Amino acid sequence: MILPFDRSRRLTPVLSTVLAFALSACGSNPAPIASPSQEPSAKPATSATTPSPSGAAVSSPAPSSAIATPAGSGFVCPVASQTGLLPSDRLVDLAISSTPTHDLLTFVFAASAPGPAGPARGSLDAATPPFSFAGSGQTIDLLGQHAVRVRFSGMTIASDTGEATYHGPTDAKPGLPALREAIQYDASEGIVGWYVGYDGPGCVNLVRDANNVTITIDHPEAPAP
């Protein structure tokens, strides 16, 4: 079952008239990546786990898409803040893939750890430099023209024996058409946080499906040969 995330605010577009914990201004697609399974088969770029979001997008389709905006117009699809419940409190892997029109960053969750902890929640917001690691304060030179911050709270970081819950990459630089870097900046005291850097004017949407939470980033479709 797909549980939508709530949209709490919008950012003003950079100029005039482009993926989701969700946003407006995207719309040449019937719904912002309503089902990546409808796209041509994704080609994994990182991690052995293949993302499998297949449900409706977090938000309703919006009126226009930056993909259709003439090159050089300067328009960038604004990022709207999102919050919502996560599939569980245990993030175990990260999978990165791409289709002809979208790059996908899929957070894979396992069953929740036993215990009285409340439901885990997630949020996505636009992010601006400077970026740094939560513990050390060390600077992060994030790749990409734009960035979002993904923050999961109420998480189980390690098992009772001290084994880390998460076993995926912590700094991925796949070099895809839009997605440039995804780096984990925090994993402590029930918080898991990521910065995601990307290029281009594309919309950023977020989809929750079963045990996956997937960020999708629009990028222009390559012209036919």
pLDDT of residue 114: 73
24-28, 109-113, 142-146: segment of lowest average pLDDT: 24-28
| CA–CA dist 195, 36 (Å, integer) | 22
Which residue carries 């770029």 as its tokens? 45
Q: Residue 122 has which token pair?
A: 């997630």
Whether 75 contacts 68, CB under 8 Å: no
pLDDT at 66 over 50: no
How many residues would you count in the chain?
A: 225
- Which pLDDT band, with edges at 50, 70 and 90, does 3 fall under? very low
Report d(CA 106, CA 13) in Å as an integer.
Answer: 26
CA atoms of 134 and 136, how far apart (whole Å) = 6
Please compute, for residue 44, the number of CA atoms within 13 A of its CA located in the half-sphere on the CB side: 10
Q: Which residue has the tokens 């885990």?
A: 120
* Secondary structure class of 67 (helix, strand, coil): helix
Mean pLDDT, the chain, whole residue set: 74
What's the confidence (pLDDT) of residue 223? 53
- Write down the pLDDT at residue 129: 96
- Mean per-residue pLDDT, 213-217: 95
pLDDT of residue 210: 83
Phi, psi (rounded to 5 degrees) for 38 = -80, -20
Is residue 145 predicted with pLDDT exceeding 80?
yes
Residue predicted with more confidence, 50 or 178:
178
| 148-166 average pLDDT score | 93
The pLDDT tens digits for 84-93 are 899 999 999 9
Q: Which two tokens stand for residue 87?
A: 């599939």
